[in-house]
Structure 1
């Protein structure tokens, strides 16, 4: 018997950088076990080209992304989410729509690489750093024994992952260690 597929929605304000990176990483790392989505409270309307550049540089798919509103996922015909993860403080502090299905919700703040000013190299390094942090957290997430965890324990573990450093891991009890 195969394990079920979990729907995961990554939220950010603009849905152009961090949430796109997270969607791309989970698309590949969670293939067959997770279906990844992303959205924003105030979508920019386009995906930041540096997000796609960094995904592509690491061998992740770069097609099929678009900046969209989180309202799409609160509509009756939308996929029911199992997990909703905010990746920026702004989106975490906003009043989110009511999500059908009562998903586990967690906050994994990631510094906004699109807000970095400076040279092209500085900006690309910021996207690379966001990619590394998200890759580490998503890798830990996809290895959780979700089928054997109750929703409360899953929520604790999911929130603990949001406190991980790039080299950190999550202990059995769900607390970060690095």
Structure 2
């Protein structure tokens, strides 16, 4: 039997916070329609400690996530990616690898909670804000009818989702 799930890759520079949170959201909300992945152009090699409680709040085990290079998804044998969402402005402006297939790309930039400073509560609030923004975008993506995911204006629809700036 052929796996009909579509592969979604969330990209960020460090692949330690935003892209990992987005991957977790799609894993927890996407059911069997999608397979979520995340990667970074310059991965930190570890998940940011601030992302750990966010993943746990979704019922996910943080040990199931790792910070990895986007090169893994451009290498031979990598899963064919259907959709790529950049979640940080730096990654959106970088020259990406050549992706196998023809993934649809869109930018869903979110402020970096890993850059937050202040008290533990202020840092946690930054992660909560990032999670809420990404959740709304993932939910909007999941609400698109299947036929819209293959339509001629799919990229414009996905870009519009990324323009939601509600905190």
Asked which structure has the greater RCO (Cα within 8 Å, sep 6+), the reply is 2
Which range moved further: 5-14 or 49-58? 49-58
Structure 1: segments with no counterpart, 5+ residues: 168-178
Is contact 2:28-2:58 (8 Å) kept?
A: no
Spell out, residue by residue over 1:45-93, the C-alpha distance to the aligned partner (whole angstroms, 9 max, x if none): 0001111212212434433100000000001100000000000000000
Q: Offset at 1:152? A: 2.9
Cα distance change, pair 68–131 in 1 and its aligned pair in 2 (3 A): same
Cα distance change, pair 75–151 in 1 and its aligned pair in 2 (3 A): farther
Spell out, residue by residue over 1:86-110, the C-alpha distance to the aligned partner (whole angstroms, 9 max, x if none): 0000000000001111100000000
Q: Which residue of 2 aligns with 1:172?
A: none
Give 1:1-178 correspondences, 5 Å limit.
4-166=4-166
Matches of 1:146 and 1:85, distance apart in 2: 18
Q: Matched residue of 1:37: which SS?
A: strand
Matches of 2:11 and 2:94, distance apart in 1: 11
Is contact 1:24-1:61 (8 Å) kept?
A: no
Is contact 1:23-1:37 (8 Å) kept?
A: yes
Q: Matched residue of 2:62: which SS?
A: coil
Q: Matched residue of 2:124: which SS?
A: helix
Cα distance change, pair 137–149 in 1 and its aligned pair in 2 (3 A): closer
Structure 2: segments with no counterpart, 5+ residues: none
Cα distance change, pair 137–6 in 1 and its aligned pair in 2 (3 A): same
Q: Offset at 1:42? A: 0.1
Is contact 2:25-2:58 (8 Å) kept?
A: no
Aligned length: 166
Q: What RMSD, in angstroms, separates the aligned Cα atoms of the two structures?
A: 1.8
Q: What TM-score comes out, normalization by structure 1 length?
A: 0.88
